Every structure is written in C-alpha cells, then in structure tokens.
Chains A and B, each alone.
Chain A
Amino acid sequence: MLEAVSSVISSAGELAKTSEVINSATPAVQPGAATVGFNNVLEQVAADAIGSIKAGEAASIQSIHGKLSAQKVVEAVMSAERSLQMAVAVRDKVVQAYQEVSRMAI
C-alpha cells in the first residue's frame, strides 16, 4: 500500500515534469514514457481494489450464512474499504493532473 502511494506520488511528479517540459514548448518531449508507468500503477491499484472489494463482499455474504466470524468479515471489509479509498484518491489525482494539463495556456 505504502509502496503504491509513493509510486503514485512519484508518477504524478513525473507527469508534472512532463507538463512543465511541454509548457516550455520543447519539441523533443516523449510523454509516452511517463504515461506507461502511470498506466501500470493505475492498473495495479485498480486490480488490487477490485480484488479486495470482491473478497469483502464474499466475506459479508458468508457471514450472513453464519459461516464466517465477525472478526474475519471486519478484516476483509476494512481491507476493501482501504483499497477503495486508495483507488478514489488515485483517481482524483489523475483527474487533477488531467485538468492541469487541459487548462494549460497554449
């Protein structure tokens, strides 16, 4: 989780650098390099979030059937909640970066 946060932050930093470079109107910009890394991070975070949310749902359903203890359910649901928060935060960051770029004066 923490690794993911730090990599997202550094990717966002790279993106910002890229936009700075674009801003200074240098023709030799390769935005592809930063985009691939960022995409990968995004993909991994999304997959993580979906997986743990699914686990949380499955645990909740099992607890309704009385097959799982409350502790396990809380653990799974907390993990899902955490992943969801993480995914939302990353999405907000991405949208923010996109808006920064789109508001750029050309």
Chain B
Amino acid sequence: MIDPLQASVQIASSGLEAQSTRLRVVSENLANANSTGRTPGSDPYRRKTTTFTAEMDRAAGVRMVKVKDVGTDQAPFRVDYEPGHPAADPTGYVKLPNVNSLIEMGDMRETNRSFEANLQVIKQVRSMVSMTIDLLRS
C-alpha cells in the first residue's frame, strides 16, 4: 500500500491530465467552429465531446480519473445560405459545424476550475508533508 499523501498527489495529477485533454478538445472545437467540408454537400467539422471515467490503479490501490473517450456530438449541423461556397449543396445551403462558442467557453471555464481544484489538492499535500518533515527538525 502506497503512502496516502503520495497517492493523493498521483490522483490529483491524473485529474490534471484529464482536464488537459478536455481543454485540448475544447480548443479543437473552438478552432474549427467554422470549418466546412470541401466538396458540395459534404459534412463540416463535427463537435467533439470528452467523457471521463474512474480507473483503478492496481499499484497504488486507488481510483484515478481518465479520459474514457473523445466522442462526437450528434446534434444537427447549422445551415447557412451561401450559394458561392465550395461546400454548398445544389440548393445553395452550406452545412456549418454544430459548435456553439458559448458552450465551449462554459466548458473551458469548468475545465479551468477543475484544474485549479486539483492543483489545490497538490498544494495542500505538499504543505502537510513539509509540516510532517519539520517535526524532525527543531
């Protein structure tokens, strides 16, 4: 059995890792908010979603968090009337990604908060460990 304080750092670190992946996906969504297809009537960029899962770490005997998978959002695409666009279908409509900037911004903020919470755990562990080691000094 690993030292609980050491385990806390590892768990918080796995949280940081998971939130980083989530931020990567959010940034992909935001950057591709206007990426359309190339051929007439083709599908544009489809919004990606992140799902998390608890994973048992056998060595430490604790449950870490991990990105389960990066899936796609099945919501319908936005359409815009733009007949001159290369991706416009015969009726002149272009399909645009189902990315909503506001939702992505909210997601980003939530990612930031989770990341901060995990960092706070690491800070707390560090201060507790150094208080304990300080017992040896004096």
- Does B associate with A? yes
Is B135 touching A72 in the complex (CB atoms < 8 A)? Answer: no
Interface residues of A, count at CB 8 A: 20
CA gap between A70 and B13 in the complex, in Å: 10
B136 at the interface (CB under 8 A from A): yes
- A-side contacts of B17, CB under 8 Å: 69, 71-72
- Indicate whether A78 sits within 8 Å of B122 (C-beta atoms), given known contacts A69-B20, A71-B13: yes
- Indicate whether A79 sits within 8 Å of B6 (C-beta atoms), given known contacts A69-B20, A71-B13: yes
Is B20 touching A5 in the complex (CB atoms < 8 A)? Answer: no
Tally the A-B contacts, defined by beta carbons under 8 Å. 48
CA gap between A22 and B76 in the complex, in Å: 85
- A-side contacts of B132, CB under 8 Å: 1-2, 5
- Indicate whether A89 sits within 8 Å of B20 (C-beta atoms), given known contacts A5-B132, A75-B13: no
Interface of A is mostly: helix
Is B135 touching A9 in the complex (CB atoms < 8 A)? Answer: yes
CA gap between A72 and B136 in the complex, in Å: 29
Is B13 touching A9 in the complex (CB atoms < 8 A)? Answer: no
- A-side contacts of B91, CB under 8 Å: none
Could you list 24 A-B pairs, sorted by A, with CB under 8 Å?
A: A1-B6, A1-B132, A2-B5, A2-B132, A5-B132, A5-B133, A5-B136, A9-B135, A9-B136, A69-B17, A69-B20, A71-B17, A74-B13, A75-B9, A75-B10, A75-B13, A79-B9, A82-B126, A85-B130, A89-B134, A89-B136, A89-B137, A90-B136, A93-B136
Residues of A with Cβ closer than 8 Å to B? 1-3, 5, 8-9, 69, 71-72, 74-75, 78-79, 82, 85-86, 89-90, 92-93
